[in-house]
Amino acid sequence: MRRSIALCRRGLRSYCTDAGDGFQSSKLKIFDRHLKRVQRDRAAWLMKPKDSLVDTVAENLLDRLEDCKRTFPTALCMGGSLEAIRRLLRGRGGIEKLLMMDTSCDMVKLCKDAEQQTPNDNIETSYIIGDEEYLPVKENSVDLVISCLGLHWTNDLPGAMIQCRLALKSDGLFLAAILGGETLKELRIACTVAQMEREGGISPRLSPLAQVRDAGNLLTRAGFTLPGVDVDEYTVRYSSALELIEHLRAMGETNALLQRSKVLKKDTALATAAIYESMFGAEDGTIPATFQIIYMTGWREHHSQQKAKKRGSATVSFQDLQKQFGSSGGC
């Protein structure tokens, strides 16, 4: 089994959806990508060998490969839950070459070390340090792109998805799981109430996330065919708000907003924990946290795929069908 590691940061093209030149990303900067890279470096050291939430999301995402009759010899797995995807792949998709990419050097090293301990048989694995916003992959070079809990941190999500589509070969598959807008709704409420009470106003503490209704539009805007979207919600119970924050840090999912307040007052933090427990705490002393996961599936265009007929091409009217089959009266 051959393994390699590469660093790619310069000379990359951007496919921003709203910038005029070819070298600038989105004019609207929401997230601090440097901070997110630092957070993922930290997460590589804090991450548990197995995380039930992350493993469940990765397993559900990979299950979609079992619904496909074709194989995907070359695959790109980028950002988010890299190690869970590699560990749970188990031969699905007929992958022969796997390219693992992350912005974090420590996260790539973690995946490389884990692969040496428990290698995937018959899969040639390579490692690369790169950014989803400047995808360092040639066009028409991979059969499958997988992103598990990573793309929701990009400043230009449609632009990143366009790059994923261009990296795919014809009839290639795009699989992604992102956090949805209902994620951590309990923490958002508690934090807002605490800030209003202690500081007389609110500042952004949790990142904005895509809504379910937006996911289909994102796939279409990025040029994918046969788009599919479905949603799962998971409720994880913690002993305290502090344990929830520690889990988010270990996942690399803490606040990375550019406009964030860099100081959290001690009394505001304590008030948030107390309000969280009083509003949402269970009788057994635990608190719930909701994680909404949006799964997206899309294909790069190919002549063999199903296509909708053009408007006005119908040869039979609904009126004729009604006359032929009658009206049941139940519809």
Helix axes 105-117, 33-46, angle to 10 degrees: 30
Helices H, strands E: what count in the chain? 10, 8
Amino acid, single-letter form, for residue 15: Y
Q: Give the whole-angstrom CA distance, residue 79 versus residue 146.
A: 9
Could you report the per-residue pLDDT of 279-317, keeping only the tens digit for each? 999 999 999 999 999 999 999 998 888 877 777 777 888
> What pLDDT does 299 receive?
96
In angstroms, the CA 247 to CA 197 distance is 26
Nearest one of 29, 18, 48 to 251, comparing CA atoms: 48
The whole-number pLDDT of residue 328 equals 57
Per-position b or e across 223-256, b if 16+ CB within 10 A of its CB: ebbebebeeeeeebebeebeebbebbebbbbbbb
pLDDT score, position 16: 46
CA–CA distances in Å: residue 249 to residues 23, 45, 242, 252 = 32, 10, 11, 5
Output the pLDDT for position 24. Answer: 40
pTM: 0.85
pLDDT tens profile 105-155: 999 999 999 988 888 878 999 999 999 999 999 999 999 999 999 999 999
- The C-alpha atoms of residue 42 and residue 47 are separated, in whole angstroms, by 9
In CATH, what number does 31-300 get?
3.40.50.150
pLDDT value, residue 21: 40
Q: Point out the residues of the chain with pLDDT beneath 70.
A: 1-27, 327-331
SS3 state at 53: helix
- Identify the pLDDT of residue 208: 84
